[in-house]
C-alpha cells in the first residue's frame, strides 16, 4: 500500500559508497528541540565506532541556535567523539532532501508527546531507513 506524503519530487538516489568504506552516517532530521532527543544520540556516540552523526536541519523555528550547537559539540568533545559530529543548521530544501537520502539511518529518539511529523514525512519521502520506538 502506498501512502502519499505530498512530496513533489524525490531526490535522486545517492551515489554508491566506495568499496571498503566502513563509515556510516546516522542523522536526526529537522529542527533541533530539546524534546527531539538529540542528547540521547550524543550520549550514544561513543558506542558507535565508525559512525558519523549529523543533525540535519535548523536549530528551531525562528532561532539562530549557535549556542545550542556549541553545547552539542562540547558534549561530543567530552565524550571523545567531537570529530564524528556535524550540525548543519538550516539547509535549503534541495540540500536538506539530498542529505536525508544519503544517510544510512535516521534515528528518532523523540521524547513522549513530541510531534515531528514533518521530519518523519521527509525521511520517508527520501527513502531513508528510520529507527524509532514508542519507548522513550
CA distance 124 to 80: 32
Report the pLDDT value the prediction gives residue 29, as an integer from 0 to 100: 92
Q: Where are the domains of the chain?
A: 24-132
CA distance 97 to 57: 10
Report the pLDDT value the prediction gives residue 66, as an integer from 0 to 100: 60
CA distance 119 to 125: 10
Residue 105 DSSP SS3: strand
Which pTM was predicted? Answer: 0.77
Report the pLDDT value the prediction gives residue 5, as an integer from 0 to 100: 56
Residue 131 DSSP SS3: strand
| 59 in Cβ contact with 65 (< 8 Å) | yes
> The CATH number of 24-132 is which of 3.30.365.10, 3.20.20.70, 3.40.50.2000, 1.10.1740.10?
3.40.50.2000
Residue ranges of the chain with per-residue pLDDT less than 70: 1-22, 58-66, 134-136
Amino acid at each position: 500500500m502506498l501512502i502519499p506524503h505530498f512530496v513533489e519530487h524525490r531526490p535522486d538516489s545517492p551515489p554508491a559508497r566506495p568499496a571498503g568504506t566502513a563509515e556510516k552516517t546516522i542523522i536526526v532530521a529537522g529542527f533541533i528541540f530539546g524534546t527531539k532527543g538529540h542528547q540521547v544520540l550524543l550520549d550514544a556516540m561513543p558506542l558507535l565506532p565508525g559512525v558519523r552523526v549529523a543533525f540535519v536541519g535548523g536549530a528551531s523555528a525562528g532561532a539562530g541556535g549557535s549556542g545550542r550547537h556549541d553545547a552539542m559539540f562540547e558534549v561530543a568533545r567530552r565524550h571523545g567523539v567531537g570529530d564524528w559530529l556535524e550540525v548543519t543548521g538550516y539547509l535549503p530544501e534541495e540540500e536538506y532532501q539530498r542529505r536525508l537520502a544519503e544517510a544510512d539511518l535516521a534515528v528518532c529518539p523523540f521524547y513522549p508527546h513530541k510531534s515531528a511529523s514533518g521530519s518523519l514525512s521527509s525521511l520517508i519521502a527520501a527513502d531513508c531507513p528510520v529507527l524509532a520506538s514508542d519507548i522513550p
